[in-house]
Amino acid sequence: MKTVLHGGCGETATELHTDCHKVIMPVRDALDVISGKWKLPIIIAVSRGHKRFRDIERSIPKITSKVLSKELKDLEAHKLVKRTVYDSQPVSVEYTLTAYADTLDSVINALQQWGLQHRKKIIGK
């Protein structure tokens, strides 16, 4: 499979633009979903059993309620997190990862491995 770094972006200016767009767009789409300071910590917190809003918030140092709320809505819109409202007094809400979120596992592991190698190469640790 041709990649951006190994011949996947054509030769001419037109091919370069068209081919690179086809290669880069899905990468940008993926990064948009998981990038930022809080998305991965939220996904990890929910995967470790923190289901209620306050539990998730307490498990992630320095995150604010406003940011957590926004990020959970974003993850829900991307079908990675499911929000379930229980009709109880008081009303309770739980967040769980969807089966679709499991598809991120190999992506996160690959990024982790690359990050470890990169850190070692750059700072020697």
Q: In which domain, by residue range, is 87 found? A: 37-123
Q: Output the pLDDT for position 23.
A: 82
Distance CA 93, CA 21 (A): 40
Task: Express each pLDDT in 102-112 by its tens digit.
Answer: 999 999 999 99
**Number of domains into which the chain is organized:** 2
Assign 49 a pLDDT band (cuts: 50, 70, 90). very high
Per residue in 63-88, pLDDT tens? 999 999 999 999 999 999 999 999 99
Question: Distance between CA atoms of 20 and 12, rounded to whole angstroms?
Answer: 11
pLDDT at 22 (0 to 100): 82
Specify whether 70 is located in the same domain as 114. Answer: yes
Q: Are residues 53 and 111 in the same domain?
A: yes
If asked whether residues 64 and 28 sit together in one domain, one would say no
pTM: 0.82
Instruction: Enumerate the β-bridge partners of residue 104.
Output: none
Judgement on whether residues 58 and 47 belong to the same structural domain of the protein: yes
Do both 71 and 109 map to the same domain?
yes
Tell whether the model's pLDDT for residue 1 goes beyond 60. no
How much is the average pLDDT of 119-123? 95
Do 74 and 56 lie in one domain? The reply is yes
